[in-house]
Amino acid sequence: MPGSDRSRSNAGVRRIEILETQPLAFEGRTFGDAGAYRHIRGRLTCDIDPTHQLNATIVDLDKAPRNRDGRVEYWTDFSVLTPADAARSNGWLFYEVLNRGNKLGISRINNAVASNRFDKAADAGDGLLMRQGFTMIWSGWQGDVQAGQDRLAIDLPTARNPDGPIVAPSREEFIAEASGLATDEFIRQTSDNVFVATLSYPAANLDPSLATLTVRQREQDARVSPPDLKWRYVDGVHIEIQRAAGFDRGAIHEFIYPARDPKVMGLGLASIRDVVSYFREGGPDDGGQPNPLAAGTMRRAMIFGASQSGRIIRDFIYEGLNESLRGGIVFDAALPVVTGSRRSFVNARFAQPGRYSRQHEDHSFGGDQFPFSYPTLTDPHSGRTDGILRRAIAADVCPKIAHIDADTELWAGRGSLLVTDCEGCDIEMPQPVRIYLTAGVPHATAPPAAAAVAQLPHNPIPYSFALRALLLHLLRWVEYGEAPPPSAFPSRSAGTLVPVDQFRRTFPKIPNVTTPVACNRLNVMDHSVQPPRPGAEYPVFVGAVDADGNTAGGIRHPLIEVPAATATGWNLRAKGYGEGDLYNILGALVPFPRTEAERASSGDSRPSLEARYESHQDWSKRVAAAADVQVAAGFMLQEDAGRLSEKLKSGSWSIRDLL
């Protein structure tokens, strides 16, 4: 029966299917006190009560088909990595929100090469998570992820009206630049001038007169349909587009069409709650298959996610899903990383979870509207009063939160709205929240194909140095009540959050470097029409810079504190790809001149390495001392400072050689 005690005790898990077991993952490699790890991969068949009050925020759940018990069914893939000897676990469940079906946490935290499998010893990187004794769990949540390459998927139901399919206008954007970023995963180039694009939802009608295709070079440009811009339906989920003359490869093609059969994407958020609750508390399934983890062995739980996955964490908490169906908290700790002030375009009709607002791409898709920050505020533009933690605080299920952003998020993710109100004034974080910015650090490094699209060489400095240290602080905050380092984020009052024009005035003169003329601006958006209609604009700020062009506020990596280059969180699109707009998630790295003669001949305003440091040894000592300062402040692990010091002995001035 719906809402039965059995349903609640197993969080709706009806069947567990074990598909693969590795008794010894990572080729049997051991990790300190935790020993060796085992890996279990399987599938959970689940159902959910659409009438339960904790499911009330899930869009279209009431329109999903129900089984004979009045519940909505779905299945999800899962993966568990746990100490082979359960007694050697630290009692913490570490849940990573998958990024488009992929596991990125071990690579980001353990300094490993990204992999969805744990076959080789090297897949564990330096083993930080395993050395701590975490049990790691992943499960599918994104309803449009395609199986393959060991990605984890979920099968979500389709919403329907009582009298037939749901049909409504849906919007797509395609940028056929072949960079490995943007919307390339939905595009197949068939010739230099023609590409085939995949629609997120099937067309309800293949009559071309019911759809529109426009093109514009930049987001703010007028949408036009020149005569040589042509398109046709290939089938119900693909269109073929012929480019128009006069637009480069960064041009934005917008397609609005009547779509049908929206998936209940928000159910993926609720599945995270129920999967984690099951692994923490659940017993055998309906057929007697036991829980792969003995119920009650996971005393605590932490949720981690970076980029898309971090935005999902903010949505998960905002939608009130950190309260389990049995009552009580699901996650004691949350670690959202590189999200900016955005959430996700998931819990909506005709949602497209892979999209997120940027200056050039996908600018006006959902997931970027108020509330932006954790405290409850009133937005004078929309008239709403809300906050990310509003529901969690009301239900007494608020996790401890360490929010970590990279410098890119100030430019591309409106990160300033995390620490300012809707009128641009500083705000205080609630007691359970710490917020940090890694200064001069990019959102991500670049795939090789992106090099042609960006104006400057990409910035390789990672945010992992701070992430690794703050993760352990977050654990101790929950476990022992030890407060983590205070928030470290630029602010208006300190003069470290500034308008873009002020940034441009103070940025140094560097040969062949053009500064951005704008960041990713934000307006109140009316999504009741397609394309959405913009309203009032919010104030958005970026980081102030020092005389070298390096961001002044936040946590500064030792290689930025004692610099050999200007390291930015922004990069610009090159000629032929929407020149001058922000290039997505990349930063830039511009080395200093080696000598004063080189500096003078180039017109570079930044002092040379020769003028700054007596020798490479002098520079190395200063970098090592700056690393010691970060260790003392709690923003860097001693082992990471030691690793940097060892690499400095190579004698290289290249930051790329030291990371």
The last residue of one of the domains, among 538, 571, 593, is 593
Q: Give one DSSP letter per residue of 549-584, joined into a string.
A: S-B-SSEE-HHHHTTSEEEES--BBPTTSSTTSB-T
Cis-peptide into 448, omega within 30 deg: no
Nearest to 130 by CA among 52, 7, 30: 30
Size (the chain), residues: 659
The one-letter code for the residue type at 579 is E
What letter represents residue 593's amino acid? P
Pairing of strands 252-260, 167-174: antiparallel
Give the start-end residues of each E strand in 509-633: 523-526, 533-537, 542-543, 555-556, 565-568, 588-591
**In this predicted model, what pLDDT tens digit does every residue of 473-532 receive, in sequence order?**
999 999 999 999 999 999 999 999 999 999 999 999 999 999 999 999 999 999 999 999
Tokens representing 329? Answer: 């908290």
Q: Is 123:172 a contact under the CB 8 Å cutoff?
A: no
Mean pLDDT of 172-177: 94
pLDDT-derived band of residue 2, with 50, 70 and 90 as boundaries? Answer: very low
Establish if 96 belongs to a structural domain. Answer: no
Report if residue 480 sits inside a domain: yes
Give the number of domains in the chain. 2
- Looking at residue 295, its pLDDT comes to 77
Supply the DSSP symbol for 63: G
* Residue 580 is assigned to a structural domain of this protein: yes
Domain-embedded: residue 58: no
pLDDT at residue 182 is higher than 60:
no
Chain centroid to CA 114: how far? 15
Query: Are 367 and 503 found together in one domain?
Result: yes
Is 563 contained in some domain? yes
> Does residue 441 sit in the same domain as residue 568?
yes
3-class SS string, 176-227: CCCCCCCCHHHEEEEECCEEEEECCCCECCCCHHHCEEEEECCCCCCCECCC
Residue 150 CA: distances (Å) to CA of 42, 97, 620: 12, 15, 42
Q: Are residues 398 and 543 in the same domain?
A: yes
- Domain end, chosen from 535, 560, 593, is at 593
- State what percent of residues in the chain have pLDDT above 90: 93
- More confidently predicted of 54 and 452: 54
Residue that is written with structure tokens 């699209």 in the block:
453
Amino acid at 525: M
From the list 88, 10, 19, the residue with the least C-alpha distance to 46 is 10
Closest CA to 64 of 265, 237, 347, 236: 265
Q: What pTM was estimated for this model as a whole?
A: 0.97
Instruction: Give me 59's structure tokens.
Output: 């869009």
Confidence of residue 471 (pLDDT cuts 50, 70, 90): very high
Quote the pLDDT of residue 397. 98
For residue 6, is pLDDT > 60?
no
Average pLDDT, the chain: 95
pLDDT score at 296? 81
**Residue 584, domain member (yes or no):** yes
d(CA 380, CA 336) in angstroms, rounded, equals 27
Alpha helix (H) residue ranges in 337-439: 390-394, 408-412
Q: Rg for the chain (alpha carbons), in Å?
A: 25
In a domain, 475, yes or no: yes
pLDDT value at residue 178: 72
- Supply the pLDDT for residue 246: 96
Q: Residue 146's pLDDT is what?
A: 87
pLDDT digits (tens, 9 = 90+) for 73-88: 999 999 999 999 999 9
231 shares its domain with 375 = no
Placement of tokens 């995390």 in the chain = 418
C-alpha–C-alpha distance, residues 584 and 444, integer Å: 10
pLDDT band at 180 (very low <50, low <70, confident <90, very high): low
* 541 and 405 belong to one structural domain: yes
Q: What is the pLDDT of residues 421-463, one digit of tens each?
A: 999 999 999 999 999 999 999 999 877 667 789 999 999 999 9
Q: With 90 as the cut, is the pLDDT of residue 606 above it?
A: yes
Considering the domain architecture, whether residues 380 and 251 belong to the same structural domain is answered as: no
Q: Tokens 């395993």 — which residue?
A: 130
Pairing of strands 588-591, 542-543: unpaired
Contact between 399 and 322 under an 8 Å Cβ cutoff? The reply is: yes
Q: Is residue 600 in a domain?
A: no
Residue 305 contacts residue 99 (beta carbons within 8 Å): yes
Range of the domain at 508: 357-445+458-593
Which of 224, 241, 260 finishes a domain? 260
How confident is residue 5, by pLDDT bands cut at 50, 70 and 90?
A: very low
- Written as six digits, the tokens of 583 are 């290039």
> Closest Cα partner for 322 from 374, 398, 402?
398
